[in-house]
Amino acid sequence: MCVTGHGYSLLWYEGQSDFTRVDWAHGTVFAPPDMMFHQRFNASAQPTRYLAITCGGLRYPLLEERRPHVLFIHNDVAHELLTMKDCIEVQDRAFRAQAMGTAAQKPRSDIYAPCDLDDGYYRGGTVEGYSNGYFAVRIKSDIITWPRTADGGMSEDKHCIEPRTYCGLVILYATATGEPLALINDGIIQHMRVGASAALGASYLARGDAKSVGILGSGGMARTYLEGVCSVRDITSARVFSPTKANRERFAGEMSEKLGIPVEPVNSPEES
């Protein structure tokens, strides 16, 4: 998977004189067939970076008779298949299992390092967990800055490579055999996971007849928070506040259309 830059690879089998060319750029994923030679060429002005993953092959099989097929699940696939209802049910079972001692998780661990920005730093983070026969590792790679807001405060901003691009991956294993199962882009999963956790809290703690919701913030997490709460309560209206007027108005319009309820942007946290 190409992380930054662009170029191409030449692929061929031993003894062949004709090469197959594969062009790649940021976000491209390709897998050379087993026993096929390949050579990469950088066409960028700067060094190219790519993520290389191997899961065995004809030369080095992981299993004697069966080689695993590792899935790459992109955000588009997660968006199409993953529902808030499924997320809530799965996390409910996982949290119950953890309380009973049959599931486990390790809190997030971060490493800080310098980056190329004078006003920023690098933060790499991992979190791991086991549940119901699966072990997962989530990996985050962020450049962190703290830009000033209009009112003189500071707000954390993070990106990978360039502003408004992000890199988070989940690696999934089967604990019965140790077999790697999937490499998952976490752009959709991370938002759904957080929204489902909020929904679980609301399902156990909010009044059964609750009809309205107040939201502070208008980012991606706020969207799945509202979607999650609407999944566990019969919500008929919502109000949202965030410091930037355009952001809260955009949030209100998008979520009103998505959920089919009126979402009102308000001018202060107290009004929400």
Q: Which residue has the higher pLDDT, 128 or 11?
A: 128
Count the Cβ atoms, other than its own, within 10 Å of residue 35. 10
Mean pLDDT of the chain: 89
pLDDT given for residue 111 in this prediction: 97
Residue type, 241: F
pLDDT at 90: 93
- What integer is the mean pLDDT of 256-260? 95
In our burial notation (b when 16+ CB lie closer than 10 A, e otherwise), range 161-174 reads eeeeeebbbbbbbe
Q: What pLDDT shows up at residue 50?
A: 74
Please name the residues in contact with 87: beta carbons below 8 A apart, sequence gap of 6 or more. 192, 193, 195, 196, 228
Residue with tokens 């899935």, as numbered in its chain: 71
Q: What is the pLDDT of residues 19-37, one digit of tens each?
A: 888 888 877 877 777 777 8
Residue 11 is encoded by which pair of tokens? Answer: 């692929």
**Which residues face 130 on adjacent strands?**
104, 135
SS3 168: strand
Q: What is the pLDDT of residue 62?
A: 53
* In contact, 103 and 87? CB cutoff 8 Å: no
- Which residues share a beta bridge with 215? 240
Please, are residues 198 and 167 in contact by the beta-carbon 8 Å criterion? no
**Is the CB of residue 126 less than 8 Å from the CB of residue 138?**
yes
Average confidence (pLDDT) over 40-48: 84
Region 208-224 average pLDDT = 93
Q: Kindly state the average pLDDT of the residues 50-71.
A: 62
Q: What does the pLDDT read at residue 54? A: 64
In this prediction, residues 60-73 reach a mean pLDDT of 66
Confidence of residue 17 (pLDDT cuts 50, 70, 90): confident
| 160-179 tens-digit pLDDT | 998 888 899 999 999 999 99
**Measured between alpha carbons, how far is 143 from 88 in angstroms, rounded to an integer?**
31
pLDDT, position 59: 53
The identity of residue 8, as a single letter, is Y
pLDDT at 263 over 90: yes
- Structure-block tokens of residue 219: 């980012």
Alpha carbons 222 and 218: distance in angstroms, whole number: 5
Q: How far is residue 51 from each of residues 9, 10, 145, 167, 174, measured CA to CA in Å?
A: 14, 17, 25, 12, 22
With beta carbons less than 8 A apart as the criterion, state whether 106 and 129 touch.
yes
Mean pLDDT of 94-118: 94
Tokens of 14: 């031993």
Looking at residue 159, its pLDDT comes to 92
pLDDT at 55: 60
